[in-house]
Structure 1
Amino acid sequence: MAAENIEQAFKVVLGQIADHLKPHGFSKRGNAFRRLSSGNAIVVEVQRSQSSTNDFVRFTFNVGVVSGRLLEERQPDVSKVGAMDAHLRERIGQFLANPADKWWELDAGTKPIDLVTDLAPLLDAAVRFLQAHADDAQLIELWESGQSPGLTDFQRQRFLRELKAA
């Protein structure tokens, strides 16, 4: 499959992911899907591997929750944030029965619908987790329990202090 056909197939995959996430309130912008809620954003972002070539695209998902109240001046508006801005963040592979880094590969022999059907249950698990921690009170509860997915303990404590003071 020529490079432009792989890119077109990848766009089809992104479109099907958007269709899958839309009933959950997500909107697509580039390779990211966001849902705004109570001043916060739930982010599902597609990360392409640097090892992708003209013959295949490897990708995974970075997911997270961004607290609008914790954003600093230099950071984008909550409607434009990415997974790296998130105050709770995970890779999609953390939602596997046995957590591991998970990548998908799209090549000439891959049907986009089959790929999306394969990844949808894992995406749904990630969305359920994110929705359960989508507002500041839920983030505070999570951080008070000592958990801080994607953060250092220092970051957890700092964000906890800042949210409680806000």
Structure 2
Amino acid sequence: MSRPSGDDGLRDRFREVMAGVPTPVSVVTSLDGDRPHGTTVSAFVSLSMAPPMVLVALDRGSDLLAVVGRTDRFGLNILGSDQAALATAFARKGGSLKFAGVPWETADGVPRLLGARGFLGCTVAQPVDGGDHVVLLGDVRVADPGSGRPLTYYSRDFGTHVALDAVRP
């Protein structure tokens, strides 16, 4: 099966379609010795309940992916609706500078952002090639739910989930 080249505008149309899909926002973290690394992702999902697993996609060229490749561990910090500034800060390049002024602790060997809506500590079960990304299948070792509304990304903007009953006339 051949893959489309994207030269005919397919990539732009694909990007537009995906902008119309609301996604949760989280910060994936790992430790390089005692140096924290992290990046914002919207490509993650639960994969399995037995055993508990998640799937997260990281850019093939990211520094974080290199760190996770050496440690086989990552944290998934699920952000709340009041943490859009944190998502923006971790979306930039800058290594451990992203953590400046951000309260965090080490949990299960990875950085846990304090105040995140939820936290999962994971080990890499298997990396999978995914084009310009690597998909990490993660075994969940620690799960700590939080409370509040989730931060979502939709139509190139941050928002949150609202139940339909809340918006019906």
Q: TM-score, normalised by structure 1?
A: 0.25
Higher strand share: 2
Higher relative contact order (CA 8 A, sep 6+): 2
